[in-house]
Structure 1
Amino acid sequence: MTVVEFLVEPLQLEFMVRATVTTLIASTVCATLSCWLVLIGWSLMGDAVSHAVLPGVVLAHIVGAPFALGAIIFGFVAVGLIGVVRDTSRTKEDAAIGVVFTTLFALGLVLISVTPSQVDLNHIIFGNVLGVSRADLIQVAVLGTVVMAVMVYKRRDFTLYAFDPHHAHAIGLNPRLLGAALLGLLALTAVVALQAVGVVLVVALLITPGATAYLITERFSRMLLIAPTIAAVCALTGLYASYYLDTASGPMVVLANGTAFALAYLARLGREQRTRHHRPGVRAPWTETPAAEDASDCRRSRRAGLPRRCGRRP
């Protein structure tokens, strides 16, 4: 099989084309938002919102409303409950998040178990990107476009809020409004990613690309480019791997993202080790000192905090 045949064969199937487009949109949108989530420290909040939307999706299915509507409502309900529990009790934020999102997620599971339906609602939990219909693809494309447009338009305000909300307030911005906007985008993004990987794995798309880009670069403007690029490559890699290995598509996409993070982590670790090893004026501690070492080298070693003595071994 040639490279061209390898790349073209899956795309000859209509459901694979829809799956590819859906996964690319979901991965790109999630990766862009993940840059701010990682920077602010909202990884656990992303996990909470992505799981808390489950009962909203199920209730929307019961009444025949769009999934996005129910997910958005319960996303804001979850955020509101977390704020109420945190502000009106001794419960810390991480504990409040854990209690609220697990309770709402359990409620969604109960609703799925008691809801008579000809549609298998388990795909909401585990994802079923290969079963995406044309209507689902249109919904994902519309929601993804809206979320991306807002993020691009307000990127400077969101970035300032992520780095220094006090400074954002000082120049006339409303940090509370910006935070609420990001949480709203988080709920919408969770709905977009539901079609691709399901509720359980949404948090991986919302966190892993941003965390990977954070290891690669220290400039936020580059993170906003690197994270979606990595997510898109991982989406294609996971889908092709699932096609040829006959495995679940959503988990393969997440595994590809996890592999990219592991490679970035190892590369960063190796680069830091080399930098530390070749740093000028710093020797390994308790090494033998040459007899010709001068006083300036001794002072340089003491400033570096190394436990050694000039001209003598310990």
Structure 2
Amino acid sequence: MNPLDFLIEPLSYEFMVRAMATSVIAAIVCAVLSCWLVLVGWSLMGDAVSHAVLPGVVLAYVVGAPFALGAIVFGFLAVALIGIIRNTSRIKEDAVIGIVFTTLFALGLVLISVTPSQTDLNHIIFGNLLGVSSAELLQVIILGAVTFSILIFKRRDFTLYAFDAVHAHAIGLNPKVLGAALLGLIALTSVVALQAVGVILVVAMLIIPGATAYLLTDRFSRMLVLAPTISAFCAVAGLYLSYYLDTSSGGMIVLAEGAVFALVYLFSPTQGVIGKYLTSRRRRQTVSK
């Protein structure tokens, strides 16, 4: 098989074209948001919201509503519960997040187990990228466009909030509103990525691209370019690998992102373990001369 046939063959199937579009959109939106999550230190928050949407998806299935609607409702519910419990008790934020997301996730598992269905609802947990319908792709496009537009339009405010919330307040911005907006965008983005990799792996798409870009540059503007570029490449590569190796498509996408992160972690010129060792070694050799 020549390289051109290798690239074209998967795209001769409509389900692969829809899967490719869904995965690339989800990868880009998740990666852009991940830049702020890494800086703010909200990795666990992304995990919480992405898992908390499960019962909403199941209930949406029960009443015949779009999955995205149920996921959005429970995503915002999780954010609200975390904020209320954190502000009205002495429990620390990490414990509150753990309580809310595990409880809602468990509720989703229970609902799946008792919901009579001719459809295997477990694909919500593990993803069903190759089964994305045209209507679901349209939902991904709309939600992805809304989330991406808000992130880009308000990027300066979100960036200032991430680096110095006190200064943001001093110049007239409301840090609480900006924080709530980011949490809401996590909920929306989780819905987008849910179609691609399922509930369990959403957190990987929300964290790994930003963490990878963070090891490659010290400039946030470059992070916003590097993260979605890397994530989109991994989405395409993972989908092609899953096609030819006959493996889980969502799992391969996340594995591709993990592999790129490992390479950057080891070989990044300024932050990589091996890169820093080689730089230090060259400096010692220069001094010794």
TM interval, shorter chain, is: over 0.9
Residue of structure 1 equivalent to 2:274: 270
Query: Cα distance, 1:105 vs. partner?
Result: 0.1
Query: Cα distance, 1:280 vs. partner?
Result: 7.1
2:59–2:70 contact (8 Å) kept in structure 1: yes
Counterpart mapping for 1:278-293 below 5 A: 278-279=282-283
Aligned residues: 285
Bigger proportion of residues as helix: 2
2:214–2:223 contact (8 Å) kept in structure 1: yes
Give, in whole Å, the separation in 2 of the partners of 1:281 and 1:82: 53
Query: Cα distance, 1:273 vs. partner?
Result: 1.5
Runs of 4+ deviating beyond 6 Å? 280-284
Q: CA RMSD in A?
A: 1.6
In structure 2, stretches of 5+ residues that fail to align are: none
Give, in whole Å, the separation in 2 of the partners of 1:274 and 1:281: 11
Give, in whole Å, the separation in 1 of the partners of 2:41 and 2:51: 18
**C-alpha distance after superposition, 1:162-192 (max 9, x if no partner):** 1111111111111111111111111000000
Residue of structure 1 equivalent to 2:221: 221
Residue of structure 2 equivalent to 1:97: 97
For residue 247 of structure 2, give the secondary structure of its aligned residue in structure 1.
coil
Higher relative contact order (CA 8 A, sep 6+): 2
Identity within the alignment, % = 71
Give, in whole Å, the separation in 1 of the partners of 2:168 and 2:66: 36
Q: Which is worse superposed, 268-277 or 183-192?
A: 268-277
Q: Which is worse superposed, 275-284 or 175-184?
A: 275-284
Counterpart mapping for 1:52-201 below 5 A: 52-201=52-201
Give, in whole Å, the separation in 2 of the partners of 1:37 and 1:43: 6
Query: Cα distance, 1:93 vs. partner?
Result: 1.1
Amino acid at match of 1:77: L
Query: Cα distance, 1:72 vs. partner?
Result: 1.7
Residue of structure 2 equivalent to 1:304: none
- TM-score relative to the length of structure 2: 0.95
Select the structure of larger CA radius of gyration: 1
2:79–2:184 contact (8 Å) kept in structure 1: no
For residue 218 of structure 1, give the secondary structure of its aligned residue in structure 2.
coil
In structure 1, stretches of 5+ residues that fail to align are: 285-289, 291-314
Give, in whole Å, the separation in 2 of the partners of 1:283 and 1:42: 42
Residue of structure 1 equivalent to 2:210: 210
Q: Which is worse superposed, 53-62 or 207-216?
A: 53-62
Amino acid at match of 1:269: V
Give, in whole Å, the separation in 2 of the partners of 1:40 and 1:281: 39
Q: Is it true that 1:46 corresponds to 2:59 in the alignment?
A: no
Give, in whole Å, the separation in 2 of the partners of 1:262 and 1:182: 27
Query: Cα distance, 1:95 vs. partner?
Result: 1.2
- TM-score relative to the length of structure 1: 0.88
Query: Cα distance, 1:281 vs. partner?
Result: 10
**C-alpha distance after superposition, 1:274-310 (max 9, x if no partner):** 23233479979xxxxx9xxxxxxxxxxxxxxxxxxxx
Q: Which is worse superposed, 68-77 or 36-45?
A: 68-77
Give, in whole Å, the separation in 2 of the partners of 1:76 and 1:244: 38
Give, in whole Å, the separation in 2 of the partners of 1:184 and 1:90: 24
Query: Cα distance, 1:57 vs. partner?
Result: 1.1
Give, in whole Å, the separation in 2 of the partners of 1:282 and 1:170: 47
